[in-house]
Chains A and B, each alone.
Chain A
Amino acid sequence: MKIAVCVKQVPDTAAQIVVEDGQVSWGDAPLIINPWDEYAVEAALQQAKAQGGSVSVISMGKEGETEGMKHALAMGCNQAFFVADPALEGIDNVAAARVLAAAIEKVGDVDLVFFGKQAVDSDSGMMAGQVARVLGWPALTLTSSITELGDETITVERSIEEGLQVVESPLPAVVSVTKDYGEPRYPSFMGIRKAARAKYPIWGLGDLQLDKLTSVMSWPEIVQPPEREILTEIVEGGSPQEIAETLADKIMAEKVI
């Protein structure tokens, strides 16, 4: 079985993100693999092992921004494909889905593609569904577990507001996984060394026959949220009972419950 996983790199989630001269800045914080994508890589590796298959990691970004891809390789993915093109700068989510779908087709004969639930920078959470739509494959988003995977079909449990939805689908399919799937493994020392030496093709939009790719969305202004002026009142008292009574009065006075 041929499995692919799409990953991206994002600023470290512990970074202070600010706007400088209208641009997003995270100072000297490192780029890391999007935390949700680690679950996708874990799922891809587990399924490949169970089915006897290989895992290709696909990523796109600015040339050299390969942190996500390298992390996935270090976790154990077999090969990598990177899409980099100056024309990718500032593209919208539908255009990005067309790029990833074209890359998946160029990798060829893929049976199953994994995505993380969403990226922690844009927080859109739509990429898996959109790539599936471009490819014309079923979308199995928000998958918390894969209960069955055969040569031709897959059964998953999806996390929805009401609980779990169990869905059966033919392959090929696109799956996005949630954190419930299970803890991602740490890259091994050997894996990190292998990832550092890995060779991978870099594809431009021309290689994907997407020279005419267009975006329809624009982001005219990015700002920091207004500082909230919060006057913190520390509630004190001689006993927990006394503190609780005072705090309860103050909470009631806010009229939020």
Chain B
Amino acid sequence: MTNKIWVFIDQFEGNALQPSWEGIGAALTLAEELGGGVTALVFGQDVENVAQEAFHYGANEVLLADDATLADYRSAPYTQQLTQLVEASAPDVILFPTTTRGRELAGMAAVDLETGVLVDVTDLEVKDGVITATRPIYAGKLLTKVQCSATPQIITLRGRVFAKPEPDESRSGTLTKVEPAMSEDAIVTDVVDYATSEGGVSLTDAAVIVSGGRGVSNNPALNPPADLDEEEQEIWKAQQGFELVGELAQVLGAAVGASRAAVDANYISYDHQVGQTGKIVSPDMYVACGISGAIQHLAGMRASKVIVAINKDPDAPIFKLARFGVVGNMHAILPPLTEALRQRLEG
């Protein structure tokens, strides 16, 4: 007899992604309203440690599918595993973190289970046993309430919104091992390799983000090498500017972000882009350097708790969202600011 509220734990090579634990936190809150306990789903190979961790975070039960076919995330065996478990036990609610795997798996399982997905939600309410979720649309320019009349109600939670429970290593629960749903012969895709990214703090998980915009290249004091053409000189200047951004980020343990203008001008790679066609972020602090604040950029970072803006133009729209603003050149402000914050954080 399993619980009615399930949480999918997203892991990579035996390390759970943090938003998975936020899912257990949200599930425990739902369980207070809907009754019963919380069941965590752990799929992978050699991932019993993740199952134990799920107990520490508050899961009462773990359904563990530990098999070579599940070592790499592949949508077909993961979806099949999930739907098979749901058909056997009929949970009411399944929570996922809105990670790349969580989002895809939730969507694909909803097809098999003839239900819907409440995706990237930021709030959950329960009234008379019915869940109403709130989620941002149009990159957060609007919020919509959303409900699903079929079961299970599949919900993906936006990261850094729901509180993560405090882990307690003395907690344990019922570990139920389940058989893999597909054999390797029946799986048509192969994961042949991984290439890791350049590293650093991931934008979507970051508590603090320091971002650069078009203004990073605007440092008249710099003399780029003469053998570069005009565009190369601009990019060279921008790279010096992003070094200042990176130094502040390092002191703050922050991720480095960028505006679309900076990405489109080839100052920095696309995986740093914040905004409507980049990543939507909501850190505790967002430092915007040389970013004027196009509506698409503001949509991607407006939910940040404290916004600090440094820009030469006093009329830049970014200042309307900023708690603190500095009207000035980021190249002059960032080095002493980095040093001042380093002293305060070390002292």
Contacts and interface: CB of A to CB of B under 8 A. Distances in A.
Interface string B139-150: 111111111111
B197 interface: yes
Interface residues of A, number: 82
Contacts of A166: 191-195
B337 A248 contact: yes
B145 A220 contact: yes
Interface stretch (A11-19, A50-58, A61-69): A11-19
A167 B108 contact: no
A256 B295 contact: no
B189 A120 contact: no
Contacts of A250: 324
Contact of A225 (B12, B140, B322, B341): B140
A24 interface: yes
Contacts of A13: 139, 276-277, 295-296
Interface string A214-250: 0111111111110010111111100011011101111
A36 B260 CA distance: 14
A124 B74 CA distance: 20
B308 A251 contact: yes
Given A139-B108, A235-B325, A244-B337, A257 B285 contact: yes
B347 to A, nearest CB: 10
* Chain B at the A interface: SS class: mixed
B346 interface: no
Interface string B17-37: 100000000000000000000
Contacts of A221: 144-145
A140 B104 CA distance: 10
B75 interface: yes
A94 B115 contact: yes
B336 A241 contact: yes
Contacts of B344: 248-249, 252
Contacts of A139: 75, 104, 108
A58 B12 CA distance: 35
Contacts of B136: 123, 225
B116 A141 contact: no
Given A126-B119, A217-B147, A161 B99 contact: yes
Interface stretch (A70-78, A128-136, A196-204): A128-136
Interface string A69-102: 0000000000000000000000011100100000
Given A13-B276, A235-B324, A161 B202 contact: yes
Nearest to A250: B324
A179 interface: yes
Interface stretch (A103-111, A152-160, A186-194): A152-160
Contacts of B288: none
Contacts of B148: 216-218
Given A232-B319, A257-B208, A169 B189 contact: yes
B196 interface: yes
B96 to A, nearest CB: 11
A123 B137 contact: yes
Interface in B8-63: 12-13, 17
Interface string A144-183: 0000000000010101111111111110000000111000
A121 B138 contact: yes
A21 interface: no
B117 A257 contact: no
A172 B302 CA distance: 41
Contact of A256 (B75, B285, B340): B285
Contacts of A209: none
B239 interface: no
A136 B345 CA distance: 54
A219 B119 contact: no
* Most chain B C-beta atoms within 10 Å of own C-beta, residue among A169, A225, A231: A225
A138 B188 contact: yes
B270 interface: yes
Nearest to A136: B76
Nearest to B190: A168
Contacts of B324: 232-235, 247, 250-251
Given A232-B320, A247-B326, A219 B202 contact: no
B100 interface: yes
Interface stretch (B172-180, B215-223, B327-335): B327-335
B244 to A, nearest CB: 12
A257 B146 contact: no
A247 B204 CA distance: 25
A129 B101 contact: no
Contacts of B193: 165-166
A223 B145 CA distance: 8
B276 A94 contact: no
28 contacts: A13-B139, A13-B296, A14-B295, A17-B138, A35-B276, A93-B110, A93-B116, A97-B111, A121-B138, A124-B107, A133-B108, A141-B104, A164-B197, A166-B192, A170-B189, A216-B149, A221-B144, A222-B145, A223-B144, A225-B143, A232-B323, A233-B325, A235-B324, A243-B336, A254-B323, A256-B208, A256-B306, A257-B208
Given A126-B104, A132-B108, 16 more contacts: A120-B277, A124-B120, A126-B119, A129-B104, A159-B100, A164-B194, A168-B189, A217-B148, A220-B147, A225-B143, A232-B325, A240-B336, A243-B328, A244-B337, A248-B344, A257-B252
The 10 closest A-B pairs by CB, nearest first: A126-B107, A244-B336, A248-B340, A217-B116, A163-B196, A166-B193, A163-B197, A216-B150, A244-B337, A256-B284
